[in-house]
Amino acid sequence: MNDINNTDLSFPLKTHKKIKPKKLYNQLTNEEAKALLAKETVRRITVSFYQYFHIAEPKTFRDEMFIQLSNLKVFGRVYLAHEGINAQISVPETSFIELRDYLYSIPELNGIRLNTAVDDGQSFWILKIKVREKIVADGIDDPAFDMSNRGKYLNAEEFNKMTDDPDTIVIDMRNHYEYEVGHFENALEVPSETFREQLPMAVEMMQDKKDKNIIMYCTGGIRCEKASAWMKHKGFNNVYHLEGGIIKYANTVKEAGLPNKFLGKNFVFDGRLGEKIGDEIIAKCHQCGKPADTHVNCANDGCHLLFIQCEECAKDYEGCCSTDCQEVIHLPDEERKLLRKGKSNGAKVFNKSKGLLKPKPALGDEK
């Protein structure tokens, strides 16, 4: 399971259905797709999986997979690269076995761990499969780096036992806004906005602790697996990582009745933006400072800032991050379109180090 495999993927893949969509990409708008999703009566299961292995022709792999997943009415986001696959998807419950059989029919994915979400919900409404340079943007350009020399896996029980030792160091390999709403007890934050920033920072933070037991974790395992290999590459000896990440851990402790050491909410990169793991609320509203752990995107499409908002502020600000954005959402559609014209939001995330949100100029009024 999740073994590194350097064998080129052969084609064609085994297929389950021969009906091909006319186009190898989504053809619906978000609004159309959401409307169709709302009409579904079959329960959906949110699933994530990844695998590091060599794909000789990612574009060919991508097109074949798009056909198969479309036929199964799978929605979600899949990234492919020469180094492997990273997927977060939702599948109708009635098609889950067929999805699993299709994935297992690919030799390098046979037996792959499929993490199912703790909380169900309408996580995705369209299917996107993209070819990228890497499935995790890491900034590594060292040709001597060996992804197969990774840290040792720990299951939930082993993780709990090892973290009972106060000398064990637990490192959270997620972004600052993920850590803010939930993390393991006594876990160290690597305060950054991207994984590529975290890798050198983690090495620097641990320079004088190379003989300590170091456990790394992330949402589903993909980032901490690569991070553990990077730490070993940099001379750290006792490196471990949580198998299946927070998602697998949460499911296991629930099923096995183990103590839950995760505090708060697990941030997820889909329409839910989070799933409750612990009962605690450890974060605060970015507008008023009251306890809250609900991430939202600013209702002003020209802003779309990701931030934490409590129910009271959501009502007072109508889902916006500021009074200025609140004014913008009440403008006529054409005016709002003009304000957005030629502007790109990019990835905008509130940084807690900057303090509470303050009123800001409406889009188009910047000084």
Contact partners, residue 105, CB within 8 Å, separation at least 6: 13, 14, 16
In terms of Cα–Cα distance, which of 241, 193, 187, 178 is closest to 52? 241
Q: Are residues 302 and 252 in the same domain?
A: no
Instruction: Give the orientation angle of helix 156-163 with respect to helix 245-256, to 10 degrees.
Output: 90
Q: DSSP state, 354?
A: G
Q: Are residues 126 and 158 in the same domain?
A: no
Out of 256, 287, 310, pick the residue that ends a domain: 256
Write out pLDDT tens, residues 219-244.
988 999 999 999 999 999 899 999 99
Q: Are residues 120 and 173 in the same domain?
A: no
Q: Are residues 126 and 168 in the same domain?
A: no
Q: Are residues 111 and 167 in the same domain?
A: no
Write out pLDDT tens, residues 26-44.
666 667 767 777 777 788 8
User: How wide is the angle at C-alpha 245 spanned by C-alphas 240 and 247, nearest 5°?
Assistant: 160
- Would you say residue 231 lies in a domain? yes
Out of 102, 131, 160, pick the residue that ends a domain: 131
What global pTM score does this model have?
0.76
- Would you say residue 360 lies in a domain? no
Confidence of residue 283 (pLDDT cuts 50, 70, 90): very high
What does each C-alpha distance from 99 to 65, 104, 113, 131 come to in angstroms? 11, 9, 13, 21
Confidence of residue 116 (pLDDT cuts 50, 70, 90): confident
- Would you say residue 126 lies in a domain? yes
d(CA 346, CA 305): 10
- Main-chain phi, psi angles of 284, to 5 degrees: -130, 150
Q: DSSP state, 314?
A: H
Read off the pLDDT of each residue in 324-348 and give the average, rounded to a whole number. 79
- Would you say residue 18 lies in a domain? no
- Would you say residue 218 lies in a domain? yes
Confidence of residue 119 (pLDDT cuts 50, 70, 90): low
d(CA 27, CA 22): 10
Out of 131, 163, 192, pick the residue that ends a domain: 131
d(CA 311, CA 165): 39
Read off the pLDDT of each residue in 190-206 and give the average, rounded to a whole number. 91
Quick one: tokens of 5? 């495999």
Strand-pair partners of 184: 262
Q: Are 258 and 160 in contact (CB under 8 A)?
A: yes
In terms of Cα–Cα distance, which of 278, 272, 280, 226 is closest to 249? 278
Per the structure, the complete domain to which residue 183 belongs is given by 152-256
SS3 state of residue 238: coil
Residue 114 has pLDDT above 90, yes or no: yes
CATH assignment of the domain containing 95: 3.30.70.100
Quick one: tokens of 166? 């106060």
Quick one: tokens of 55? 């794909």
First to last CA, the chain: 54
Share of the chain above pLDDT 70, in %: 83
What is the DSSP pairing of strand 275-276 with strand 262-266? Answer: antiparallel
Write out pLDDT tens, residues 101-110.
999 999 999 9
Kindly report which listed range (2-6, 184-188, 262-266, 337-341) carries the lowest average pLDDT score. 2-6
Q: What single-letter amino acid sits at 357?
A: L
SS3 state of residue 104: helix
Q: What single-letter amino acid sits at 67?
A: I
Contact partners, residue 51, CB within 8 Å, separation at least 6: 2, 84, 85, 108, 109, 112
User: How wide is the angle at C-alpha 159 spanned by C-alphas 265 and 223, nearest 5°?
Assistant: 60
- Would you say residue 363 lies in a domain? no
Q: What single-letter amino acid sits at 226?
A: K
Q: How far is CA 161 from the centre of its chain?
A: 26
CATH assignment of the domain containing 205: 3.40.250.10
Q: What single-letter amino acid sits at 233?
A: H
Q: Are residues 229 and 312 in the same domain?
A: no
Q: Are residues 45 and 124 in the same domain?
A: yes
Q: Are residues 118 and 65 in the same domain?
A: yes
Q: Are residues 121 and 39 in the same domain?
A: yes
Q: Are residues 211 and 167 in the same domain?
A: yes
Q: Are residues 127 and 160 in the same domain?
A: no
Catalytic residues: 218
Q: Are residues 161 and 245 in the same domain?
A: yes
- Would you say residue 281 lies in a domain? no
- Would you say residue 323 lies in a domain? yes
Quick one: tokens of 278? 């612990």
Q: Are 113 and 49 in contact (CB under 8 A)?
A: yes
Question: How many domains does the structure of the chain reveal?
Answer: 3
